[in-house]
Structure 1
Amino acid sequence: MLPHLGAATSALYILWISMAQVAGQDDREKTTALKDLLSRIDLDELMKKDEPPFIFPKTLEEFEYAFNEHGQLRHIKTGEPFVFNAREDLHRWNQKRYEALGEIITEYVYELLEKDCNLTKEMLPVDATEDEPTSFIYLSPDALSNPSKLLVLIQGSGVVRAGQWARRLIINQDLDSGTQIPFIKRAMKEGYGVMVLNPNLNYLEVEKPTKSSPSHSPAEVSDEPAEKRERKEEQEGKKKKEFYEKYRNPQKEAETERIPIRDNGSSEDHVLYVWDYFVSKAAAKNVFIMAHSYGGLSFVELINQRELQVKNKVCAVALTDSSHNIWLQETSKGTQDWMFQYCCNWVSSPEPLDTQLESMLVDCPRVSAVYSGAAEGAHVQGTVEMATCCFGILKPLSCNGWCPSLVTQRASPD
């Protein structure tokens, strides 16, 4: 902030001196001189704000936020909701701060899955070595042994990780709206085994090593010619100057590289891998799947790759705003017929909840998920509204198929 104030003060001082110098001139000369002066002042540079370093708290407590008894994120001192624009006119810094908070919340949700939902973490690949990057999923204690029914949760794309539907809803609304925890608890209460997939954890991101210049011993430095030492001192002085002036410029982000996780390098690969090593080996006779957005596309890719297995084991699929496309994904006629009978896609719509909608693609029934019109967040909010509806459908389902009229039936309260 000091360099910023110094630049502004210097510019104003120059302007004041110059105005004093032209005070004795006639009006026309004054106007000409003032215009010339203003043309030489970089107002954009004068008004530029310093971008602080991208250094943020590592815990919710350090952020001074906590989740209250209603699962809402609130400031521990003011009780106010999260404020994105912590610093005016510094959008990139505010975004980085938001992302840092999001990473903390990801770990917080992991902790809830383990402590509140009693889920266990299963590492992927199953035969991973100690020195390779890994992913993981979460399983209920009876996920593989439950002989009756298994519920598999697949989220959409983006920054969300296992146990989350939408990070923005967690931060701006509450945990019940943005996480899969209400689904998990209800499923376990109703006798389902549960698998929570993690389709967006596809790589390990590491910082690229910086290229260091050759080091010299003090003896070597002292033997350098005076001219060479002067050049080095000048360069070091320039570096120090750049250090003190760097806050006048955007922060430089560290260069990173991504190391893909074996057999889990994409959402589609992850869903296929979990099917092969977990779902297909589960004891449950009836498998039910909930998938949001890109998770629906990943499921369709799964059925393209494992058509007979999926048709024999999966009894119902509840989708929300699924981004699948039966034409682009080249699904077979048999798969399309199966999806029409066993799948339902809740989509954002201005129509009342559960209203049956028309579809350009004949793949599966589409119904309204949200009575919100063009309200912001309808896409992710649809997953929240799906909770009661999909359980109302999954409960009476059997592998003999389902009646589309069940789409409009709501589950009775527990």
Structure 2
Amino acid sequence: MPIRASIFLFCLVRITMAQLLAQEEKEKTTALKDLLSRIDLDELMKKDEPPLNFPETLDGFEYAFNEHGQLRHIHTGEPFVFNYKEDLHRWNQKRYEALGEIITNYVYERLENDCNLKKEILPVDSTVDEPKSFIYMSEDALTNPEKIMVLIQGSGVVRAGQWARRLIINEDLNSGTQIPFINRAKEEGYGVIVLNPNENSLEVEKVPDSAKKLSPDASDEPAEKRERKEERENKKKKDFYEKYRNPQKEREMEHIPIRENSTPEEHTLYVWDHFISKSLAKNIFIVAHSYGGLSFVNLMIQREAEVKNRVRVVAMTDSVHNVWHQEANKSIRDWLREVQSSINQMCQNLDVPNHNFSHPPDLLYFAGTEKHELTSWKSFHSIFKFFSDALKDHEDESSSSPVTTRSSHRIKNEDL
């Protein structure tokens, strides 16, 4: 009998130990799964990452634009290489962004020195300390009595004078910047206004919130014990996690919005109210790319009568606007049918009417490229012809209507 009891107790102890070991293994497995769910490739790639310190000039990057406007390495003549360091995507991306900021300032210099545009600070009544934006204008933008051209870019990192940063870096300045549009517009007698719809805030380093401190509590309540236990567990997980990463600490930034220019739509409306509408030009022509088309439609909704009276025609290159979602009324939709030329991507044949969309076929044309960001450059000559024909037809009309109809100057299929 004692032997059987001993065997029973021994088996009971073994079973209990096995259960405890199984429970411990289960907890470890759960913790490991939780850990793995927190690890991503970007974090792993931070291990042994070089410092995020990059040159502040093109010369520092050892790149320069050649006579064709192409960015090339000054020693090898090779195009820009994104994967400068293999298996370090995050570092390469930061390097690309640093180069992009230099490109932005380079384009600003070209606008001022080569295109002879002047910078106008926004808001016009800004104080010394508040965040500011700006646009570029030709000297005659507000005084040209005949015509002005307004350029509105899409959304993203691009700033005044750019269509697409990727095109500037990987293709050339002609396709990626608005400089060809500005130069030709000036040659043909247009005043020019270049919007800057993505300069919406001032980025500053975030000040740590010193108020968030743990208050001392000498009590030994169960709730506090649980908190300390959770804190210890979290520290263990964090220490284990840190073995797989060695991140560089980046400054935490915050954005202070620019008054009345905190969004592309606000910016477009502000520039219209304070500059475009005050121009003496009888004819306003607009080129709006991508999100710029949406901003223009929003401007129409806000200033319908003014826009209808002043804008002769608008060319939208692969615009993302939607008159239904933006709740444009019928009179705006009808007006856009008359004065708008939408230039879409999706096809290799330039200027061919697009019959596959819900728009009337005399409204929508293909740009001759499948790349969204290339649509403005690929339709460069067609846009100027479209504007020229519209102005000529308007001047020839004996009607008193202030708006030229598309039917009088549409591009005929047999001429393409």
TM (norm. structure 2) is 0.76
In the alignment, which of 278, 282, 286 is matched to residue 281 of structure 1?
278
Q: Deviations over 1:278-328 (max 9, x none)?
A: 000000000000000000000000000000000000000000010000110
Structure 1 residues 400 and 208: CA distance shift in structure 2, 3 A: closer
Q: Deviations over 1:2-60 (max 9, x none)?
A: xxxxxxxxxxxxxxxxxxxxxxxxxxxxxxxxxxxxxxxxxx99998511221111010
Tell me by how many angstroms 1:210 deviates.
4.3
Amino acid in the other structure paired with 2:373:
V
8 Å Cα contact 2:362/2:410 also seen in 1? no
8 Å Cα contact 1:392/1:409 also seen in 2? no
Tell me by how many angstroms 1:209 deviates.
2.6
Correspondences of 1:198-237 after superposition (within 5 Å): 198-210=196-208
8 Å Cα contact 2:136/2:193 also seen in 1? yes
Tell me by how many angstroms 1:249 deviates.
1.6
SS of the aligned residue for 1:344 comes to strand
**Corresponding position of 1:51:** 49
Q: Which runs of 5+ in 1 are unaligned?
A: 1-43, 214-241, 373-377
In the alignment, which of 123, 128, 131 is matched to residue 129 of structure 2?
131
8 Å Cα contact 1:389/1:409 also seen in 2? no
Q: Deviations over 1:161-215 (max 9, x none)?
A: 00000000000011001000000000000000000000000000101134689xx
**Corresponding position of 1:393:** 386
Matched, 1:339 2:336: yes
**Corresponding position of 2:374:** 381
8 Å Cα contact 2:111/2:179 also seen in 1? yes
Whole-angstrom CA distance in 1 between matches of 2:208 and 2:379:
48
8 Å Cα contact 1:340/1:363 also seen in 2? no
Whole-angstrom CA distance in 2 between matches of 1:64 and 1:387:
31
8 Å Cα contact 1:389/1:407 also seen in 2? no
Matched, 1:190 2:205: no
Matched, 1:96 2:94: yes
**Corresponding position of 2:268:** 271
**Corresponding position of 1:353:** 350
Whole-angstrom CA distance in 2 between matches of 1:206 and 1:128:
18
Q: Deviations over 1:249-271 (max 9, x none)?
A: 23232111100000000000000
In the alignment, which of 304, 307, 310 is matched to residue 307 of structure 2?
310
Correspondences of 1:112-131 after superposition (within 5 Å): 112-131=110-129
**Corresponding position of 2:254:** 257
Whole-angstrom CA distance in 1 between matches of 2:322 and 2:46:
47
Structure 1 residues 68 and 143: CA distance shift in structure 2, 3 A: same
Correspondences of 1:133-172 after superposition (within 5 Å): 133-172=131-170
Whole-angstrom CA distance in 1 between matches of 2:269 and 2:360:
24
Amino acid in the other structure paired with 2:302:
Q
8 Å Cα contact 1:85/1:91 also seen in 2? yes
**Corresponding position of 1:63:** 61
Whole-angstrom CA distance in 2 between matches of 1:404 and 1:385:
24
Query: Identity percentage over the alignment?
Result: 61
Whole-angstrom CA distance in 1 between matches of 2:361 and 2:178:
26
8 Å Cα contact 1:120/1:139 also seen in 2? yes
Whole-angstrom CA distance in 2 between matches of 1:46 and 1:352:
45
SS of the aligned residue for 2:189 comes to coil
Tell me by how many angstroms 1:352 deviates.
1.1
Structure 1 residues 169 and 409: CA distance shift in structure 2, 3 A: farther
In the alignment, which of 318, 342, 366 is matched to residue 321 of structure 1?
318
Q: How large is the Cα RMSD of the aligned pairs?
A: 2.6
TM (norm. structure 1) is 0.76
Whole-angstrom CA distance in 2 between matches of 1:193 and 1:118:
12
Q: How many residues align?
A: 334
8 Å Cα contact 1:337/1:363 also seen in 2? no
Whole-angstrom CA distance in 1 between matches of 2:247 and 2:384:
49
**Corresponding position of 1:177:** 175
Tell me by how many angstroms 1:247 deviates.
11
Runs of 4+ with deviation above 4 angstroms? 44-49, 210-213, 245-248, 361-364, 404-407
Amino acid in the other structure paired with 1:109:
V
Whole-angstrom CA distance in 2 between matches of 1:66 and 1:88:
23
SS of the aligned residue for 2:267 comes to helix
Structure 1 residues 364 and 301: CA distance shift in structure 2, 3 A: farther
8 Å Cα contact 2:369/2:378 also seen in 1? no
8 Å Cα contact 1:149/1:284 also seen in 2? yes
Amino acid in the other structure paired with 2:299:
L
Whole-angstrom CA distance in 1 between matches of 2:375 and 2:196:
20
